[in-house]
Amino acid sequence: MVKSMTLTMNPALLENAKLANEPRWLSDLRQQAWQKIATLPMPIFAKINYHHWPLLDFASESVVNVTVPESVQSQLASYQFASVGQVVAKIALDEDLMAKGVILCDLQTAIRQHSDLVANYFFKQAIQFDENRLTAINAALVNGGAFLYVPANVEVTEPINLLQVQDSRQSTNFVNHTLIVAGANSRFKVLQRSQTVGEVANPAHTMVEIVAEAGSYVKFSALDSFAKQTHAYINRRGYLANDARIDWAVGVMNDGNTIADFDSNLVGNGSHTEMQTVAISTDQQTQGIDTQVTNYGRHSEGNILQRGILLGKSALVFNGIGKIIKGAHGAKAQQENRVLMLSPKARGDANPILLIDENDVIAGHAASVGRINQDQLYYLMSRGLTKEMAQRLVARGFLGVVLRDIPVAEVRSQLVDMIERKLANGQGTE
């Protein structure tokens, strides 16, 4: 039986989520969020009716499995941080980075050993806990995650890779929160890989906050591949100070139903973000992705690029929102949302929205929902490719804008393999 979007306010949920010896400020935050959950609205994802999904079907007694499965162990060499559910499988940061003050650890350790630092940013700038019911749930029930802090003027040349695995080998809660802080004028790359092990149906709630202080530059890449039985809520948010920049490259390759909220708040003058997202929906899967850039600062710039492919009887909705707040003189907001239909039974939407409250700005958008280019298909088939192979090649090129921005070759290869698998196994292709 599928439950509604009303959370059963069982106090055991709150107690089980608490971390060992957590500080008073976190306990108070949890309590405030818990008390507001019932009165806060669910977030709106235009043209996606997700209210019957079991996103709030939490386990009262969340079981923790301390063994790390072979499928995860085989990947550990590529990551500096890895966790399976609430169990930390690996933390390995170069000594020279630690000597420069870089911090990488699980959220529980961060709260215990760097409490004051975490408290300055956790649900303070990028995300407010009471924005909606799902943000409040994350604040109240967070039970795992990671913390990355790069101090001012530190440049990290190699990407810092995070593997965060939902453990669905048993009934358990996965309410994950990753906090990334870029000190002034720091520069680094981060890759986040999210996936599922096991076959039990559990919801996944994941949240990422990136706080980019003045003059910092963060390249953030992500590859999501939660399992078919997982209903996922993904929220990634950036807060950018003066002249800060965050470049996002996100591959949404989940097999289950998904709602995702990717936002950047350009608070500082001269701040800049590039937000690139690709997604594939297959079978009867539904995915709704909202990407929003809000320009507050003068001469801030935010560009959105979203591309998706649909197969079978799936649905994919891209909502791109560009907002320029009054006073953001010289701001720029551009977006492009494109959906490629590989099945006549699929449903795709690309909805660009511009909300402009200032005159001295540049803003524009483009959107399209259509079938595969027949001239491209004919050209490839004339060179000896089958129709299926030609379709897959065109589709791969269509998504290539994000492929090239994944910094780790192995993960880039995984994304290519996922695209190939989804295209090969997709039902209802023409």
Domain boundaries, the chain: 11-372
Q: What is the pLDDT of residue 5?
A: 61
pLDDT of 1: 35
> What is the reported pTM?
0.94
Compute the distance between CA of residue 170 and CA of residue 65 in angstroms, rounded to an integer: 8
Point out the residues of the chain with pLDDT beneath 50. Answer: 1-4, 427-430
pLDDT at res. 418 = 81
Q: What is the pLDDT of residue 6?
A: 66
- pLDDT computed for residue 369 by the predictor: 79
pLDDT tens per residue across span 103-131 = 999 999 999 999 999 999 999 999 999 99
**Predicted local confidence at residue 107, as pLDDT:** 95
pLDDT given for residue 165 in this prediction: 97
Residue 265 has what pLDDT?
98
Give pLDDT, residue 370: 76
pLDDT digits (tens, 9 = 90+) for 176-231: 999 999 999 999 999 999 999 999 999 999 999 999 999 999 999 999 999 999 99
pLDDT of residue 90: 96
Residue pair 307/280 in contact by the 8 Å Cβ criterion: no
